[in-house]
Amino acid sequence: MKDARLLKILVEERAMVKVLKTIGQGREYPTRELLTKLGAYGYGHKLLLKAQKRGLVDRKTVKNKVFNRLTSDGKKIVMLAKEIGV
């Protein structure tokens, strides 16, 4: 059932998938750098917080910077997106 939830996110939330793919699998991105790379400050930040609520992104604060990295579910969605070609 967990994979069905991930597939649902993959289909319904294409913009969130773009955010997850931008973060990548092996990196931690500071929020400002990530949003600059995406080119979407307001909407991108909302998507990032939504991804955190769904358990796809882990966020931690270090000296006034918030670093974002993918959880295992986030990595699964990125792999599924690459296999499908999204």
**Digit-coded pLDDT (tens) for 27-62:** 788 988 888 888 888 888 999 999 999 999 999 999
How buried is 56 (Cβ within 10 angstroms: 0-12 exposed, 13-18 middle, 19+ buried)? buried
Thinking of the domain 2-84, which architecture would CATH place it in? Orthogonal Bundle (1.10)
Instruction: Please list, in sequence order, all residues whose beta carbon lies within 8 angstroms of the beta carbon of residue 25, skipping any fewer than 6 positions away.
Output: 70, 75, 78
Which residues on neighbouring strands pair with residue 65, listed in sequence order? 62
State yes or no: pLDDT of 70 exceeds 90: yes
Which residues on neighbouring strands pair with residue 62, listed in sequence order? 65
Domain ranges of the chain: 2-84
Does pTM top 0.75 for this prediction? Answer: yes
Can you tell me whether residue 56 is helix, strand or coil?
coil
Write out the H or E segment, with its range, that includes residue 30. strand 29-30
